[in-house]
Each structure stands twice: as structure tokens, then as C-alpha cells.
Amino acid sequence: IILGDHHFWGGLRASVELARICRTWGIGLSMHSNSHLGISLAAMTHLAAAVPNLTYACDTHYPWQWEEVIVGGKLQFEDGALAVPAGPGLGVELDHAELERMHQQYLASGLQFRDDQAEMQKIEPGWQARLPRW
């Protein structure tokens, strides 16, 4: 099973191409997410709706987020599903004031780079990140 991620795989079009490759080779497809905000989840939802061979449920950590950068607050799940946002573009509108507030919070945190290997080595000291072997 391939876990597509529109951030990691190069965007929406590249993720659609990944889905085509999976369909061609008969490989199962799902979508991975991380601690994203509503604009990212809106993009993921549109992508999921556009991919006919999404054979496994999408993963999201979105319900655990308490901050949001879209007007109207968090997108709402109903019965474990999320409706595709229906407005123009991705169907959501950015709250620019909240986006700026969160940007300043990010700058103040001092965290500029994601280091998954360092985090994993706190649990397993010898762990090393490797690319998958196909």
C-alpha cells in the first residue's frame, strides 16, 4: 500500500500521477497526513475525491489540532467522513490574521527544520532514515 502525501509527493497533480501508477501496477493506495491545518486537509479531500482508485481510508491527525487558519474554524467530520469543500478553489478561505499570528508563533519557536531522525533516535538510538527499496 502506498501512502500518498500531496506535500511530499510534489503536489496535487503529482499525487494524481502517483494514483495512476498505482492503478497501472495494481498497488493499493491511501493518503498519509500529518499535523496539517484546514487548507491542507481541504486539498487532501479534493484529491481523495478525484482519485478513483483510493482503496484504503485516508489518514489524518486534523481532529487533534486546536488552531486553524481558515475562516469559520475547523472543517467538521460527520460519521467519520469529510464533505468536499464546495467553494471556489479548495473551498476554504484563509483567515489572514490567524495565519500571521501562527506564523509569528512559528518564528518565535526557533524550530526551522524538521528532523524526524533525531526524534526517532530519542526512542531508538540507532535508528536511521532510509528511502524505501522497491
Domain map (residue ranges) of the chain: 2-123
Average pLDDT over residues 35-62: 90
Question: What value does the mean pLDDT take over residues 16-45?
Answer: 91
State the pLDDT at residue 60: 86
Cα 115 from Cα 70, distance rounded (Å): 27
Query: Does the domain spanning 2-123 belong to CATH 3.20.20.120?
Result: yes
Q: Determine the pLDDT at residue 134.
A: 63
Nearest to 20 by CA among 43, 47, 41: 47
Q: What is the mean pLDDT of residues 68-72?
A: 93
pLDDT of residue 79: 93
pLDDT of residue 8: 85
pLDDT of the residue at 59: 85
Alpha carbon separation from 79 to 23, 39, 76, 82, 83 (Å, rounded): 28, 21, 10, 8, 11
**Across 49-55, average pLDDT:** 92
Average pLDDT, whole number, for the chain?
A: 90
Average pLDDT over every residue of 95-121: 91
Tell me: pLDDT of 132 over 80.
Answer: no
Using CB atoms within 10 A of its CB, is residue 39 exposed (0-12), middle (13-18) or buried (19+)?
A: buried
Q: What's the pTM value of the predicted model, to 2 decimals? A: 0.81
pLDDT at residue 55 above 80? Answer: yes
